[in-house]
């Protein structure tokens, strides 16, 4: 596993080399490379494994009733995707696409379905459950954004959530097109609203670097 220290990921953190090798075996880990624009699944299929991004970035998205893509998540290096779909063996209703050249570590959940065979397997199962809980929290934050009635309210909610984790000045991982898709709008409308908010003194930004000046949550 070159190019990224996956010991820093929740599933593998703190493991010694022997435990790490056992964990890779437990998850039946396989590394694969993919090209920018490559779709990693087909709608309606079941995911045989979930992914850990070793290098690059992938997006998880679905289409609305008008056929417009809405980003559910952008997963960068060190992040995971598809955990719930894989574990529950659900048919996929989302698309997973590499937005850059990427390397993915594919991990299976089959060995969690039986009784854990020892302390390490029990610990790995506990960590996987904790990861699912974090994903549920992330999805709740996503719902908070999409439940707002105006683009400004969606932006304020999204930026406020990000600032809570990273402080009032930060770089967003999404470019304008991706952010527009995440918020369920188009790039032109997003650019106009950001420009208005900057003129009104709510925030300052240059490309993907943002500084929040006087943003407060608005009720829509």
Over residues 90-97, mean pLDDT: 90
Strand-strand pairing, 58-63 and 95-98:
antiparallel
Chain centroid to CA 97: how far? 12
Domain for residue 1, yes or no?
Answer: no
Domain for residue 205, yes or no?
Answer: yes
Report the pLDDT value the prediction gives residue 126, as an integer from 0 to 100.
92
Domain co-membership, 200 together with 120: no
Over residues 130-151, mean pLDDT: 86
Please identify, among 88, 121, 146, the residue that sits at the C-terminal boundary of a domain.
Answer: 146
Domain co-membership, 52 together with 83: yes
Domain co-membership, 25 together with 118: yes
pLDDT tops 80 at residue 143: yes
CATH number at residue 27: 2.60.120.10
Please identify, among 94, 111, 146, the residue that sits at the C-terminal boundary of a domain.
Answer: 146
Over residues 124-140, mean pLDDT: 88
CB 195 within 8 A of CB 206: no
Report the pLDDT value the prediction gives residue 9, as an integer from 0 to 100.
87
- pLDDT tens-digit map of 66-86: 777 788 888 999 999 999 999
Q: Which domain holds residue 174?
A: 151-212
Over residues 143-147, mean pLDDT: 86
Domain for residue 217, yes or no?
Answer: no
Domain co-membership, 106 together with 138: yes
Please identify, among 97, 112, 146, the residue that sits at the C-terminal boundary of a domain.
Answer: 146
Q: What is the pTM of this model?
A: 0.73
- pLDDT tens-digit map of 156-186: 999 998 888 888 899 998 889 889 988 888 8
Domain for residue 53, yes or no?
Answer: yes
Please state the domain count of the chain.
2
Domain co-membership, 51 together with 98: yes
Domain co-membership, 206 together with 120: no
Over residues 22-37, mean pLDDT: 95
Domain for residue 219, yes or no?
Answer: no
Domain co-membership, 142 together with 157: no
What is the secondary structure of 115-151 as a DSSP string? ---SHHHHHHHHHHHHHHHHHHHHHHHHHHHHT-SSH
- Side-chain-facing half-sphere of 58: CA atoms under 13 Å: 28
C-alpha 191/C-alpha 161 separation (Å) is: 20
Average pLDDT, whole number, for the chain?
88
């Amino acid at each position: 596993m070159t190019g990224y220290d996956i010991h820093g990921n929740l599933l593998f953190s703190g493991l010694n080399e022997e435990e790490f090798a056992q964990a890779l075996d437990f998850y039946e880990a396989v590394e694969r490379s993919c090209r920018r624009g490559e779709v990693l699944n087909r709608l309606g299929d079941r995911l045989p494994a979930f992914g850990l991004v070793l290098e690059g970035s992938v997006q998880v998205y679905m289409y609305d009733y008008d056929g417009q893509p809405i980003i559910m998540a952008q997963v960068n290096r060190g992040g995971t995707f598809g955990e719930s779909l894989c574990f529950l063996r659900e048919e996929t209703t989302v698309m997973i696409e590499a937005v850059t050249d990427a390397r993915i570590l594919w991990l299976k959940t089959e060995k969690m379905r039986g009784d854990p065979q020892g302390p390490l397997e029990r610990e790995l199962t506990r960590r996987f459950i904790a990861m699912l809980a974090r994903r549920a929290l992330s999805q709740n934050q996503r719902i908070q954004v999409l439940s707002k009635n105006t683009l400004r309210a969606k932006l304020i909610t999204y930026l406020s959530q990000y600032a809570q984790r990273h402080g009032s000045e930060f770089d967003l991982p999404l470019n304008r097109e991706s952010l527009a898709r995440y918020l369920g709008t188009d790039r032109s409308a997003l650019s106009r609203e950001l420009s208005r908010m900057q003129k009104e003194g709510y925030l300052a930004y240059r490309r993907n670097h943002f500084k929040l000046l006087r943003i407060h949550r608005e009720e829509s």
